[in-house]
Amino acid sequence: MGGSIVRSRCTSTCARARGASRRGRCSFLRRRARRVKAPRGRSVAAMSDFDSGLGDDRDARGPLTRAFVAAFEHATAARAAIERRLDELSDPAAQAEELAAQLSAAARRLAREAMAWTGAAGETDIAAAQYAFVVLLDELLLFSEWPGSAAWEARPLEMRVFGTHAGGERLPDAIEALLAQRDPSQRDLASVYLACLMLGFKGRLRGEAGALRHDQLRHALFAFAMQRDAEPARLAAPLERAGVAPGRAAALTQMFPDLARLALLLGIGVCVLLGISHLAWSLATAPVPPAVTQFRSLALLDPSPPRVDRSSASGVVMPLVPSVPLRTVDADSLAMRTAALPETARLEAAPSEGGRP
């Protein structure tokens, strides 16, 4: 990928390649890092964080810093205009070409304004600030999702303006050299480098391995450029903005696709029908539970044997005769017993015609 996306271990390889007139070619040999889609307003928020970090010192900016901030705001507006015209510029290559033309003009504008304020005495620092500006734009564009990213990767802004492709190595080296020299005349340039790091440049320091060194360079640049340490109170607002993502209102049609909305409506309708049917069933079966309770209470009473009504049809109470098992009597034996009874007993034992004694 571009010079702003190289690994730290390729430093010596890049140095040998540049010595052999192969400047920055090691950047193309490295595996492309995974892109992370950046929010659309990330550049504006980062510039606001840079202003918040400067605090009262933002009114005393040097000419390089003022020209850098103006050029970056112009570049941000140009990219927003390109995004609004995506329908007109359907070709990704055409988008990349038009954006490259506008950003090249912003880089030249940075150099003209800084030269007008500083004169020829600061030509070296102006060139360094312009190079840092171009490398920062390449980093932001290469690590964001937009239609012309592939065309931009093939020919980044650094190659168009300077003819090199090694910004991921050269800018951290320049920062290290500036901090090693500690030249008071380069504090304005240190402020420009600090803005690049705060706006998203990482280069070879991208990833977990270089995160600590990136943070150290930011603190060292701030202390050198502002001649004081950063105050935690002034860093509270940027940290809150970075930690809590702003809410974004979205219409219901954008939050749910058509099938999801249809399924949601069907689910709500089924729930309403189930509720209505349950209410109707409860009202219809309301008298049933008391009747069931009464029936069960009667069924659980202690059962007693039925009482035998000993009154006959004529109202005469019949004597209660215990049930005795019948025995089979022989006919001859019965005749002999009857003959042995007295006459009176036989008359009493014989039934009358009416069935009464």
Looking up residue 42, the CATH number of its domain turns out to be: 1.25.40.590
Question: What integer pLDDT is reported at residue 254 of this predicted model?
Answer: 54
In sequence order, which ranges of the chain are alpha helices (DSSP H)? 11-19, 26-29, 42-54, 63-84, 92-118, 123-142, 149-154, 157-161, 167-181, 187-199, 208-226, 232-243, 252-255, 258-284, 288-299, 331-340, 343-349
Q: Establish if 283 belongs to a structural domain.
A: no
Q: Structural domain of residue 47, as residue ranges?
A: 8-245
Distance (Å, whole) CA 198 – CA 179:
17
pLDDT at position 84 is 80
Task: Please say whether the dihedral angle defined by the alpha carbons of residues 25, 7, 173 and 170, taken in this order, is positive or negative.
Answer: positive
DSSP for residue 163: S
Does any domain span residue 44?
A: yes
Is residue 320 in a domain? no
Answer yes or no: is 60 within a domain. yes
What pLDDT is recorded for position 222?
92
Q: Is residue 213 part of a domain?
A: yes
pLDDT score of 5? 35
CB atoms within 10 A of CB 183: 12
Cα distance between residue 57 and residue 20, in whole Å: 44
Measured in residues, the chain has a length of: 357
Q: Is residue 313 part of a domain?
A: no
Please give the tally of structural domains in the chain.
1
Chain-centroid distance of CA 203 in Å reads 28
Question: Average pLDDT by consecutive 10-residue portion of the chain (357 residues)?
Answer: 37 38 37 43 51 51 89 91 74 87 93 84 89 95 87 92 93 96 92 93 90 93 86 53 51 61 85 89 82 75 54 51 52 61 53 47
- Amino acid 329: pLDDT: 52
pLDDT given at position 31: 36
Residue 332 domain-assigned? no
| Amino acid 306: pLDDT | 53
Confidence at residue 174, expressed as pLDDT on a 0 to 100 scale = 96
Give the separation between CA 181 and CA 220, rounded to whole angstroms: 13
List the structure tokens of 207.
């990833």
Would residue 265 count as lying in a domain?
no
As given in the structure block, the two tokens for residue 278 are 């349950």
CA distances from 23 to 27, 30, 154, 165, 168 (A): 9, 14, 16, 7, 12
